[in-house]
Amino acid sequence: MEKVLQKTTKVDNKNRPKKVFIKTFGCQMNVNDSERIKGILKNLGYQFTSDWKEADLILLNTCTVREKPDRKVLAHLGEYKKVKEINPTAKIGVCGCLAQRMGEELDKRAGGIIDIMFSSYNIHHLPQLLEKANRGEKAIEILEEPPKDEWEMFEYPTIRENPYWAFITIMKGCDKDCTYCIVPQTRGRERSRPIRSIINEIKELVKEGVKEIHLLGQNVTAWGKDFEEPIPFSYLLYKIAEIDGVERIRFTTGYPSDLTDDVIKAMGEIPQIADALHLPFQSGSNRILKRMHRYYTKEEYLEKIYKLREVKPNIALSADVIVGFPGETEEDFLETLDVIEKAKFEQLFSFKYSPRPGTPAAEYPDQVPDDVKTERMHRLLELQKKIMNQLAKRYEGKIVYPLFERYSEGKLIGRSSENKWVEVKSDRKELLGKIVPVKVNKASVYVLYGEFISQI
Ligand code: 5AD
Ligand code: SF4
């Protein structure tokens, strides 16, 4: 990495540091990629700005998982192109999944205003791409395949919003073939990050004061399967827990059938593993799950949840679900509602099915009309709201353990092990970066309001 950066010139041709405005769309993987991009740009002398109008470089890290994020990116490009009227040397860059999917076509659609384009495969080529763009050439590099040196960029420091917890990408890509999903096209096949690289990054982060580690991957529970000598994901969890100073561990996103018994056992045994898990189920109908190419049944999914609750009785579950997948009947939808009733998710991310170009489901003839999707979505949200209101009550009078990460207007704010926001009226800023027991007095759906118990 150093070598790559040394080859490039620092960018200050106007004797003032250049400013970059970065906008990130999509999932946590994209957030982590942006943190890495910020690390590279900081090393090149860039300063960050939250006002795109004063930027020398506007960078959009894009998502294409559904049609909505696609449209958002194009709308933003339409606005940001005005930066070139303010500053004719300003550059516009687009990276991430939409860049990977559309390549030069995206530049055409945006009216030829894009100067730099790359994807999650080649973030570490950004210095060379910038150099090219600053010479006035278009710097578009969309690779068909991830390069061999793609984990090299992970040796490089990230710029994170918060000093106390950190995302760690441990694998990329996805080998599943869900018929609705564009991700295998944009992020490629599964590649697990070598264990030593993961452990080294975590050790460095802990030295800097990070307490909570959030492991990331499109399919994080499949980590280690693609090594010449496969290593179970549970082994990685035990190894991370052994590192001095790691106080909490989370991981996203799990795939139900890869959440094997050894992982569930590890979740029960490792005290630092958070009392929260995001486990998408997508549909409650076995017929639809089969059409989606999801390799589990409704019963198997629920069984995983019951097993999890045996080892972690307080676990707060969250999930993703798709409404109106092609061919979904009223009966199929009722099966989805049944999973919601039974699983009792603390948070549910629900999406209307959105056909993605080049995916098998987009070609299925029995697409569900939008008004049916909308009507089902309303019913689903109604049910979920009821469940969330009931679940919130379980916190009242209980002790939770937030990691305080922010102080604002007389309040300390942090996330509990169950991934709930906790607020305590206090000026004790010395508690930032600490996991502290808090008694909950009042619980709303998203925030637990509490006070310190007397010994603190
Ligand atoms: N339409 C609707 N939702 C989708 N998701 C992925 N692809 C689609 C699609 N084509 C949802 C899934 C996934 C989440 C990140 O986005 O629920 O888990
Ligand atoms: Fe969006 Fe999927 Fe890419 Fe994440 S991996 S940014 S959700 S398309």
The predicted-structure confidence for 416-455, as pLDDT tens digits, reads as follows 999 999 999 999 999 999 999 999 999 999 999 999 997 6
Ligand 1 pocket member 364 (CB < 6 A): no
Q: In terms of DSSP H, where are the helices of 211-321? A: 233-241, 261-269, 286-291, 298-311
- Helix 195-207, helix 233-241: angle, nearest 10: 30
Cα–Cα distance for residue pair 216/249, rounded to 1 Å: 11
Q: pLDDT value at position 56?
A: 97
Q: pLDDT value at position 3?
A: 44
User: Residues of CATH 3.30.750.210 domain(s) within the chain?
Assistant: 162-274
Task: Classify residue 209 by its DSSP letter.
Answer: T
Cα–Cα distance for residue pair 418/443, rounded to 1 Å: 13
User: Residues of CATH 3.30.750.200 domain(s) within the chain?
Assistant: 282-393
Instruction: Report the nearest atom of ligand 2 relative to the CA of 62.
Output: 6
User: Residues of CATH 2.40.50 domain(s) within the chain?
Assistant: 399-452
Q: Which helix H or strand E contains 101, and what residues bound it?
A: helix 97-102
- Give the pLDDT confidence of 309-347 residue by residue, as tens digits: 999 999 999 999 999 999 999 999 999 999 999 999 999
Q: Which residues of 132-166 are buried (b: 16+ CB within 10 A; e: fewer)?
A: bbbeeeebbbbeeebeeebbebbebbbbbeeebbb
Give the gyration radius of the chain's Cα atoms.
23
The dihedral built from the CA positions of residue 97, 102, 108 and 110, taken in this order, carries a sign that is negative
User: Residues of CATH 3.40.50.12160 domain(s) within the chain?
Assistant: 2-141
Q: Which CATH number fits domain 2-141: 3.40.640.10, 3.40.50.10490, 3.40.50.12160, 3.30.70.20?
A: 3.40.50.12160
For a pocket test of ligand 1, which of 25, 63, 289, 322 has the largest count of ligand atoms closer than 8 A to its C-beta?
322
Beta strands in 217-260 (DSSP E): 248-252
Q: Which CATH number fits domain 399-452: 3.40.720, 1.10.1760, 2.40.50, 3.30.70?
A: 2.40.50
Nearest CA owner, ligand 2 atom 1: 63
The hierarchical CATH code for the domain 162-274 is 3.30.750.210
Distance 96 CA to ligand 1 centre (A): 17
Ligand 1 pocket member 326 (CB < 6 A): no
Beta-bridge mates of residue 21: 58
Mean pLDDT by 10 residues, the chain (456 residues): 43 73 96 96 96 97 96 95 95 97 95 96 94 96 89 81 96 95 93 95 96 96 96 98 98 96 98 98 98 98 98 98 98 98 98 97 98 98 97 96 97 98 97 98 96 82
The hierarchical CATH code for the domain 282-393 is 3.30.750.200
Nearest-5° Cα angle at 88, 84 to 94: 50
